[in-house]
Amino acid sequence: MKLKTTLALFLAAPHLLLSQAATQPARHESLKQEIRLAYERGLSFLKSKQNSETGQWGDAEPVAFTALAITSLLLAPERKATDPLPPEVEKAIAFLMKNVQPDGGIYVKARANYNTSLALTALMLAPNLDREAKLLAARRFIIGQQNDFDEKGKLDNPNDGGVGYGTPKPNNPAHADLSNTHFALEALYYSQALLADKGDAGKNEPQLNYAAAIQFIQNCQNRPETNKASWVSTDAKDAGGFIYSPGETRGGETKTADGRTALRSYGSISYAGILSFIYAGVDKNDPRLQAVMQWITENYTLDENPGLGAEGLYYYYHTMAKALAIADVDFLKTKDGKIVDWRVDLSQKLLNLQKGDGSWANSAGRWMESDTSLTTAYMLMALARVHATL
């Protein structure tokens, strides 16, 4: 495994290596310096929140929070791929490895896919041959989380092909959601590097059913041309955007003229939809991907998570930065015709939101965003992606 290549994929478009990025004309040097200083303050705050005994961050979801903190530390703008791991990262990795389960997952008790996916993604930034077997096992575990409800081998349930928080219990209803699916796809995307040097042996490793995954992603999109579900909105305001899960949204609902209940698209999950399509190998010119790109340009704002207000706002900022960087987008044309350099716009917003102690905090605590370790990690990762491509 090559850290430099993995780090490059994290920070830029899939085809853009750091060595190539370094040859591009320098832009916004003063802003980049501001980002570096803000990053240092954010890292200092984050380090202060690490449990000195266990190496973990957070109590509610310690594996996930620790994985996000590790990623934040390893994406630091001035860190080189050849630099030794910071002691905080070494201790945090040891915590993750203590939570490797017999089934290959990396979690404590619940939300097995969510925790394993974030952990594997983080660990791919710190490749180590001694951990490789366990990372491969984690990859297999995630692949095993892909759903196939009802008749096996057929896409006869809208949740087929997707991934939820963990394998459903026998009597639980069928469920998958786009947030967990995009985390799983991300972990598999980066951990493909584990198979790169294995030759024919790598071909024997299980692979995700990507056609099924793409079908599931499509099943979450407000696009009548490719999604015939009864909940799909025909309102132009929703066209191309995404909802959380087939038949379930966080963005509200509306009654249609024919009496149906249509589900509204919303911001953060629409960026997760972009990421999901890209990680699953969908071409950037595919009309489904083009449709969601159109939705995000028409709903571009940094004042709220569109459709949710302050709820999930920092997840929104983080997912936006990740999706637009990986999609290799430089500028957005908003619905009023304004051309936006989203990197400058977003970084200035995040710099203004940083607290005096280096942290970021959301006044709306839904989805654990009352935990400043989580929100600070989100913002550091967002700034890392902006800094790498400014």
pLDDT per position in the chain (390 positions), as tens? 454 455 555 655 443 333 334 444 456 889 999 999 999 999 999 999 999 999 999 888 899 999 999 999 999 998 888 889 999 999 999 999 999 999 999 999 888 999 999 999 999 999 888 999 999 999 999 999 999 988 898 998 999 999 998 866 666 667 899 999 999 999 999 999 888 876 665 678 899 999 999 999 999 999 999 999 999 999 999 999 999 999 989 888 888 888 889 999 999 999 999 999 999 999 999 999 999 999 999 999 999 999 988 889 999 999 999 999 999 999 999 888 899 999 999 999 999 999 999 999 998 778 889 899 999 999 999 999 999 988
For residue 257, the model assigns a pLDDT of 80
Beta strands in the chain (DSSP E): 253-255, 261-263, 332-333, 339-340
Determine the structural domain holding residue 42 and report its residue range. 3-389
* Of residues 358, 357, 329, 359, the one with CA closest to residue 345: 329
SS3 253: strand
Contact 121, 186 (CB under 8 A): yes
The torsion region of residue 267 among left (phi > 0), alpha (psi -120 to 50) and beta comes to alpha
Label the pairing between strands 332-333 and 261-263. Answer: unpaired
- Angstrom distances, CA of residue 376 to CA of 10, 12, 47, 234, 370: 18, 21, 11, 37, 11
pLDDT at 15: 37
Q: What pLDDT score was predicted for residue 18?
A: 33
Cα-to-chain-centroid distance, residue 228: 27
Rounded Cα gap, residues 149 and 98, in angstroms:
32
CATH number at residue 245: 1.50.10.20
**Eight-class DSSP state of 76:** -
Collapsing DSSP states into helix, strand and coil, what is residue 147?
A: coil
User: Rounded to an integer, what distance in angstroms lies between the CA atom of residue 244 and that of residue 366?
Assistant: 15
Residue of 62, 69, 31, 32 lying closest to 359 (CA atoms): 69
Q: Are β-strands 261-263 and 339-340 bridged in parallel, bridged antiparallel, or unpaired?
A: unpaired
pTM metric for this prediction: 0.91
Number of domains forming the structure of the chain: 1
Tokens matching residue 329: 């987008």
Residues in the chain: 390
pLDDT tens track for 275-287: 999 999 999 999 9
- For residues 81-99, one letter each, b for 16 or more C-beta atoms within 10 angstroms of the residue's C-beta and e for the rest, the string is eeeebbebbebbbebbbeb
Cα atoms found within 13 Å of the Cα of residue 250, Cβ hemisphere only = 20
pLDDT at 68: 97
Q: What is the pLDDT of residue 31?
A: 92
CB crowding 373-382: b at 16 or more within 10 Å, else e: bbbbbbbbbb
pLDDT recorded at residue 4? 47
Q: What is the pLDDT at residue 24?
A: 43
**Closest listed residue to residue 109, CA positions, set 61, 176, 74:** 61
What distance lies between CA 390 and its chain's CA centroid?
20
